[in-house]
Structures are given as structure tokens and as C-alpha cells.
Chains A and B, each alone.
Chain A
């Protein structure tokens, strides 16, 4: 693994003509940065992540990963560097059991079976699911699937991790576990989420999106504390901040 950066310039994209989903997005993501992408439903967070990993190539503007432009001929090289965790873990896991799924990428990259085993063990240990090694995918709970889908990308030893709603379906313990794992990962990571508390705990920088564009890009602490800004764009303060700002809210809410 090495530290690499990502540069996005004037990125625009639409699934249908005249209905732009992303409009003129530009930002620089430096190595080791943790960036949270937030915004109301349908603002284009997932689409942005899909573009960054080359799932749609018919975009306008440019995406460069470590100076390599994202295009069809560089796709293979770029995808080796990026691990993408899908929003829906069921779509990510397709092999019969956790081991086979985790071994899929290293085998495709032609690694010898010993190295495949080593990487799978390492990835499963990193997300604390070693005991699920032989478990069939269909027998995993929602939270276990989420952790397994993170493990399967860790076997690629990615330089960049992109995550779409990673905290969905996780119970509090697994959520804390995932936060700890992400905070240990000292490469570039971009996390799209509605879970502002999760972003608060994992990202130093936040990009607020609305109507397919970037409204605000800055320190997480500044953006997530700005109640007015968040409310203007269909979001609310993270619960942890809300609790501090509105002391006694629990009594009022009869919690």
C-alpha cells in the first residue's frame, strides 16, 4: 500500500440527457485524508463515489488518481488501488462463503494461494470476523455482511477506500468497531453517509452536497456544527452535538 491522492476537476454527470446528477464538482483529496460526503437523499453522493471508481465513464471533466487520468484504458490499474464498499452488502458479496469472497480479488490479481490465504486472514482479523471464515454468505446477519464486505476490499490492500453508507445495518458495537478500523486506516478514504455522527467520528474533512454540486467543503467540525447550514440542505445536527447544544432535550422529548 502506498499513499496516493485524487484530483477531481469540473466533474459533471447525468444518467439521462438534460437531467444532470452531478454538476461541476471539483476537489482535491490528499493522501491520508478522511473525507465525509454528506447531503440529503438524491443529491448524488453514491453517483459521485461510483464515478470515482470508474463504474460510469461517460462523465465530463476529469478524475485523476496519482496523476493517472481515469479512463477505460487505465481502469484496471486504478481499480487495483481503490476499494469500494457498496451501500448494499448483498450486492457486494456473491461467492458461496466469506473466505471465497475475500479471496476473489487477490486470486484475480494472480497472487499465489499462500499469499491469498495470508491476505484473507489479515482482512478478517482487521474487522474481527475471523470466526466467520467458512460461514456461507446467506447465513450472515446484516451487520456481519457489512463487515465482510469491508474485509473483502481490505484483501486488495487498497490505497484509497470509498464507502457508501458504511454504518447501515451495524449494531452499536460493530459501528464502534468499524469507526476504530477506519481511524486506523491511514490512507485516503472517502465516506458517503447520512449518518453524521459516523462522519463526525471518522472524517476530518467534510463535503456538503446539494442538487448535484458542492455547497461547502471544509473541516468536519465547522460544517457539522453549523445547524443553519445543515438545515438549509435537508440535514440535521449530529445527535452528539445536538445533545450538547440542546441540554435537557431528553427531558423535553420524554426520553
Chain B
């Protein structure tokens, strides 16, 4: 399978994953968005040397991966492009902040290393939280919940259309590269000389497809706003889920949970 075909497959399989009939997928999208936002907010609010406290925030992704029956390995594989970027963020910290902050056995740990690890963990956790949201909620439901939060119609529609057009763009790219590969047997990748032409072709073709899709939408009564079907009702379990996670996340952020657990073993 070529890289582009794999990308298309991954987008489609993520869509399929979000549509599965698991209890976590059936939760109200607004609740899931609120919990995700709260989690991200709490996670990034940890001070830069507070690695111990931050480690406790791993509870959320671990529980959701386990209870939600999601494959951790598949999640990690899907995030392989984003995670290195997240990790690069703090890579220069050890050079600027060399003051010894703690000892790990006999190994001195500088403030820079500690803040780098903290930053990386924050990045990894927030990316995982976002992944967990989109792996359990379709983009239409996310947009529905965003409209409930009174986000502007224009913004939400843009989000939905961008998501849709990623698929269109990838499909066109897949077609072009397949046609190229079939006429360039034995060649690895696309030759530099062909890049310009192919990118130009891709742009023109995807614009053409996008225009036709827009025409198709207009012909079926689209006037700038998507309708997401029946109103999704908030049920008791949604409230329970929200309350439990809100309490748990506040506790994890405010109480020295890892220290308490550590002291049990000391």
C-alpha cells in the first residue's frame, strides 16, 4: 500500500472507529468535549518542574483506552507523525537550564531535563486526549456539540468542510501517485522533476472536485449550515460521566496523588 493510500485508509478507519457502537461512542458529544477540554486545561496548567503531579494525569488516557476498548498500539501508530513534533518542543531546555534540580539515585537531573520531560508529557497527553475524542466521536457530532457551545456557524462549518476535503484531497493525491507509479516501475517515490506538475495537477483536480461537491450540496438545499439530524439528548449516564471526570481531574490536579502513592512504598 502506498503512503497516500495508507493515509486515506487511516482517515477512513478513524471515521469507522468513531461510528462504532461502544458505550463511550454513545456518550453525549458535548460531555466528551467538555471533559477533553478540562483534561487538556488541567494538564497544561502544571508548572514546568512538576513532573510527579503530571504523571498522575496519565490516568485519563489509560482508563479511556482500557474501558473504551481502544487499541493503544493503534493509537500510538496513528500519532507517530505528531508525537515527534510534540517532543521537539522542549528539546533545547537542557541547554539553557542546567541547574541541578533533583537526584535520581546518584544521577543528577537538571531543571532543563525535568522541564523538557514535563513539556513532552504534556504534549503527549494532550495529543492522546484529542485522539481519544476523535476516535470515539464522529466529526459531525463534534460539530454539533460545538454549535451547542455557541461557536460561530462559520467556524464549525469550516471545520466540517476541512475534514471532508482532507479526504477529497487525499483521494486525488492517491489517484495521481498511483497513475505515476504505474508508469514509473521500479522507481522509488516520485522524481523531484515531477513534483511541480503533480502538485499543480493535485491542486487543480481537488479544486474541481471540491467545487462539484459544493454544487451538489447547493442543489440539495445547502444554505450555509449543516443539519445534524435529531437533537442528541443528554442522559443520566452522560451527567455521571461528566461529574466523575470533573471531580477526578480536579483531584489529580490539586492533590499530591503521586506523592501519596509513592509514600505508601517508602
Contacts and interface: CB of A to CB of B under 8 A. Distances in A.
A79 B229 contact: no
B193 interface: no
Contacts of B16: 136
Contacts of A96: 15, 19, 138, 140
A92 B209 contact: no
B221 A105 contact: yes
Contacts, number: 61
Contacts of B227: 107-108
Contacts of A13: none
Contacts of A53: 219
Given A91-B209, A96-B19, A104 B12 contact: no
Interface string A71-87: 00000100110101010
B9 to A, nearest CB: 9
Contact of B209 (A82, A90, A107): A90
Interface string A110-151: 000100100000000000000000001010000000000000
A7 interface: no
B12 A136 contact: yes
Contacts of A108: 220-223, 227
B10 to A, nearest CB: 12
A35 interface: no
Most chain B C-beta atoms within 10 Å of own C-beta, residue among A79, A103, A104, A136: A104
Interface in B158-191: 164, 167, 171
Interface string A151-183: 011001000000000000000000000000000
A152 B219 CA distance: 11
Nearest to A102: B220
Interface stretch (B79-87, B210-218, B246-254): B210-218
Interface string B10-22: 0010011001000
A111 B39 CA distance: 38
Nearest to B209: A91
A94 B216 contact: yes
Contacts of A156: 220-221
17 contacts: A86-B216, A90-B171, A91-B209, A91-B213, A91-B216, A92-B212, A92-B216, A96-B138, A97-B19, A104-B217, A104-B222, A107-B229, A108-B220, A116-B229, A136-B16, A138-B167, A156-B220
B230 A113 contact: yes
Nearest to A134: B19
Interface of B: 8, 12, 15-16, 19, 138, 140, 164, 167, 171, 209, 212-213, 215-223, 227, 229-230
Contacts of A88: 212
Nearest to A55: B215
A136 B18 CA distance: 12
B172 to A, nearest CB: 10
Contacts of B215: 55, 91
A152 B212 contact: no
Nearest to B138: A96
B219 A84 contact: yes
Contacts of A86: 212, 216
A243 to B, nearest CB: 36
B15 A105 contact: no
B229 A136 contact: no
Contact of A79 (B12, B140, B213, B219): B219
A104 B230 CA distance: 13
Given A94-B216, A107-B229, A80 B221 contact: yes
A164 to B, nearest CB: 11
A53 B218 CA distance: 11
B220 A104 contact: yes
Given A113-B230, A136-B12, A94 B217 contact: yes
Nearest to A116: B229
A98 to B, nearest CB: 13
A107 B220 CA distance: 9
A35 to B, nearest CB: 19
A76 B209 CA distance: 23
A136 B15 contact: yes
B222 to A, nearest CB: 6
A143 B114 CA distance: 59
B40 to A, nearest CB: 26
A23 B19 CA distance: 50
Contacts of A97: 19
A84 B8 CA distance: 28
A86 B217 CA distance: 12
